[in-house]
C-alpha cells in the first residue's frame, strides 16, 4: 500500500488508509 499519490506522503497515505479501514470505510485511494 506504500504507493505514491499526488500531494500525499507515503506515511500520510498509509495512516489515512488504516484510519478509514478502522472506521469501516473504503478510502477512495483503494479504487485506483
pLDDT band at 2 (very low <50, low <70, confident <90, very high): low
Q: What percentage of the chain carries pLDDT values higher than 90? A: 0
Q: How would DSSP label each residue in 2-26?
A: ---BTTB-HHHHHHHHHHHHHTT--
pLDDT of residue 28: 63
pLDDT of residue 18: 84
Q: Average pLDDT of the chain?
A: 69
Grid cell, residue 3, equals 504507493
Task: Tell me the mean pLDDT in the region 3-27.
Answer: 73
Judge whether 22 and 14 are in contact, CB under 8 Å.
no
Amino acid at each position: 500500500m506504500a504507493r505514491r499519490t499526488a500531494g500525499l506522503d507515503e506515511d500520510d497515505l498509509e495512516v489515512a488508509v488504516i484510519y478509514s479501514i478502522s472506521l469501516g470505510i473504503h478510502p477512495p485511494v483503494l479504487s485506483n
